Structure 1
Amino acid sequence: MKADIEHWTSRLAALAADCEVPGASLAYWYGSELHECATGVLNTATGAPVRADSLFQIGSVTKVWTATQMMLLVEQGRITLDTPVAEILPEFTVGDLHATAAITLRHLLTHTSGIDGDLFLDTGRGDDCLRRYVEACADLEQTFPVGDSHSYCNSGFVIAGRVVEQLTGKVWDQALREQICDPLGLTHTWTLPEDVLRFGAAAGHDEHGAVVAQWGLPRSVGPAGLICARAADVVAFGRAHLTPGALLADPAALRRAQVDLPHSYGGGRQWGIGWCLDEWDGHQVVSHTGDTIGQHAALWVLPEPGTVVAVLINGGRSVEFQHRLVTELLGDLHGIDVPAPLTPPEPPVDVDIEPFTGVYERAGSRIHVTAHEGGLRLRTEPTGILVGLARSRTLDLVAVDATTFVGRDAGDSLWDAVVFERRPDGPSYLHYSGRATPKAR
């Protein structure tokens, strides 16, 4: 089939129907050509159709854009990756004074700062919202000592966005336009609702296909996940990371491994600068996914063949949908065998589960791990500011090896991986959903 867009339009629609996805947009660069298709509706309440130029929320894919802004400043000699954040932001402090002094820009961009950082705090719509957010980080504690592990940290990228503001003298949204959007000619990439509304914009949907009550995230978390874009613009951004001089003199610097991941079953084995790094069937793959309220996005870049794929989704079984789509697409374009998600082994693995039981806790989440019918049961409990935003999940875990388990909540089609890390000379961690959660008791 190769790049037969009629075929992929049909497959996009079929997969969306099968995964109960209201609407989706696909764009990919292959064979020196952009290919685009779309299916479904932007909003089940209105029936407005998805078009190739419709805007979706790309969520945490935004983080790669923020990392790119930072690397532009590095290439200009304004900072280095090892510049301490506190040297740039006088308002920056966290709960641990040693961590405040030790955290560098590299730590922020590689999720190794240890900041307990799922702080989804609305500090208003004003141009000072990032500064006020950073000031509110003063009470954040450390999940682990600076640089000791990897734990996905939204707060770190908001802080990075504030560094961009401090060094450019522009609010983050404007700096984004001047540093990335305008040079690449991205006409359908915006951050603020009043700009997004000028285009056909997707609404998020819950698991039943109903439009969610809250359309987007607060402006204060912009650098961590606020960009809205059409799929073609996301592909153009990905292509810029394969072309020296398109934005960065050395875009490959962002995809050089910085840290090995303790949980390598969630999309990558290592982390670069902003990018998640993996290898599929002998091909390097750099990627990032993003979730907002009822929307999901994924961007994959394959440096060797120069192929870039972006898919934007507004509900349904989005993770299953994007995995099935990229598996078919890359298999067809390049013969790549995309790794299948982890599943329970046959025969079952016998593991001593007692050391893993207990309560694990970090900002916004308390995780209970208990013995259940000869195995383990994991139950997440949103806490603090995430109450009402995140839902509780219950997973009955099946052992894959001595420290790795898989489980799935009621209604889930894919298994989630959970990795336990026991350190004889330090805290024990539960690695799940990209986060390291220390054992509290």
Structure 2
Amino acid sequence: MTSRRTVLTTATAGAALLAAGAPASAGGSGDLRSLVDGWRDYLTGIAGVPSVAIGVVANRRQYAVNGDAVFQIGSITKTFTALALAIADRAGRLSIDDPLRTHLPANYPVPTRGATPITLAHLTSHLSGLDVLPPGLAEDPDLDPKDPYAHFTEAKLIAALGRTTLLSDPGTKYLYSNYGGGLLGRALRDDYPALIRDQITNPLGLKDTTITLNADQQRRKVDGHDSETRETTPDWHLPTLAGAGALYGTVNDLLRYLRGHMGEAPNTLKPALDLVQTPRFTITPALRIGMGWHMYTLPASHRTAVWHNGGTGGFTSYAAFCPSRGTGVALLVNIGGFDLDPYGVAILDAL
């Protein structure tokens, strides 16, 4: 979750995977099971991933393996934070174009640059000018490299804001920022877990998408593994920047979440779900961003895909869907820093 991995190289990477013997498609028969099982076998066999959960949806048909296993979903959390903002906007409780300073306590110094203030929309589309991380977070003597956000308290966030220099004028340049995602969660509500539960997970029936695991979810949670040593590693905790990446989830919940974005949601949520998928900024000719979600064109089918990935020290995640096709994919693995994007692209392109 400390950097942004884009899909700009995944066409080449996906071709390399197929040349190495990875499953190419559903065989033209709509066989979701063979597609998913094939990729599961490839990831656990050739790629050597300890635990894999994969699920796909295609025109209301769905198939998943390890669908109820619990993983950390990392930065996919940002799409939930963005949706919470969109829900509040559509309900008239705020505007996505409100200045950030109007939604933070008075003792939070909000950095400025140029004539345009940072808005809530800037945070969710990574246009705020904020760096990836708050200043001082990585150099703090209290830092635990295996749980790098756990030490970052509200007092340290306030101090960091006072030392922050924006890297660009708000609204002018895409700069992926965990700092901004965490600030947005804080601006929306003090109790971020309650915000996500009340506004999103309960209405959509996402029973395993949460920050605090119950006893049953603890039993179903897989252990995370370090990317270099492949040894088990602790989960990450983000008490102050929860909106950037604190959620746990399952493939079954992610598929239900994607289906909600493609029309299977309560009518009260549909305006907000449409809003987050609306492009707001062109990053490159091949890549755009809405609110939380990125958009690009699949290399083989040339359909527009809406996607986000994520990672913590022991987990990597990927979720994407094609609204025009009614297809989607969710992948979760228990290795940090594992590049799932080529696999997700290949699977979605095959649906």
TM-score, with length taken from structure 1? 0.64
1:191 aligns with 2:211: yes
Q: Which position in structure 2 is the counterpart of 1:394?
A: none
Q: Is the 8 A contact 1:209 1:315 kept in 2?
A: no
Q: How far does the alpha carbon of each residue in 1:170-190 deviate from its partner, in whole angstroms, 9 at most, with x for none?
A: x10111111111111111111
Q: Which amino acid aligns with 1:71?
A: A
Any conservation in 1 of the 2:311–2:337 contact (CA below 8 Å)?
no
Matches of 2:161 and 2:337, distance apart in 1: 34
Q: Does 1:219 align with 2:231?
A: no
The CA deviation string for residues 119-159 of structure 1, in whole angstroms up to 9 with x for no partner, is 3574669xxx5586355422121111222211001111111
How does 1:34-113 map onto structure 2 within 5 Å?
34-37=62-65, 51-89=66-104, 90-94=106-110, 96-98=111-113, 102-113=117-128
Unpaired segments of 5 or more residues in structure 1? 38-50, 334-441
2:319 corresponds to 1:299 = yes
Name which of 335, 344, 347 aligns with 1:315. 335
Moved more, 4-13 or 290-299: 4-13
C-alpha RMSD over aligned residues: 2.6
Instruction: State the shift of 1:212 in Å.
Output: 4.1
Counterpart of 1:133 (choices 128, 132, 157) is 157
Give SS of 1:249's match: helix
Aligned equivalents of 1:77, 1:10: Cα separation in 2:
46
Unmatched runs of 5 consecutive residues or more in structure 2: 1-26, 138-147
Q: Which residue of 2 aligns with 1:157?
A: 181
Query: Do the aligned partners of 1:158 and 1:224 also contact (CA within 8 Å) in 2?
Result: yes
Q: Report the alpha carbon displacement of residue 279 of structure 1 after superposing the two structures with TM.
A: 1.7
Determine if contact 1:21/1:317 at 8 Å carries over to the other structure.
no
Q: Does 1:206 align with 2:234?
A: no
Counterpart contact for 1:118–1:155, Cα < 8 Å: yes
Query: Paired residue for 1:324?
Result: 343
Change in 2 beyond 3 A, CA 1:286/1:203: same
1:256 to 278, 292, 301: 278
CA distance in 1, matches of 2:246, 2:336: 21
Distance 1:134 1:28, change over 3 A: farther
Structure 1 residue 259 displacement after superposition: 1.2
**Equivalent-residue separation in structure 2 for 1:195 and 1:141 (angstroms):** 43
Larger RCO (CA within 8 A; separation ≥ 6): 2
Structure 2 residue matching 1:102: 3-state secondary structure? coil
The CA deviation at 1:299 is: 0.6
Match of 1:287, SS state, is strand
State how far apart, in whole Å, the 2-side matches of 1:174 and 1:323 are.
34
Alpha-carbon distance change, 130 to 283 in structure 1, aligned in 2, over 3 angstroms: farther
Using structure 2 for the length normalisation, give the TM-score.
Answer: 0.79
Bigger shift: residues 132-141 or 145-154: 132-141
Partner of 2:308: 288
| Greater strand share, structure number | 1
Judged with a 3 Å threshold, the aligned counterparts in structure 2 of structure 1 residues 7 and 154 are, in CA distance, closer, same or farther, namely closer
Greater shift in the superposed pair: 223-232 or 199-208: 199-208
CA pair 138-199 structure 1, distance change in 2 beyond 3 A: farther
| Secondary structure of the structure 1 residue equivalent to 2:244 | helix
Deviation (angstroms), 1:101: 7.2
Larger-gyration structure (1/2): 1
| More helix by percentage | 2
Contact kept, 8 Å, 1:189 with 1:233, in 2: the verdict is yes
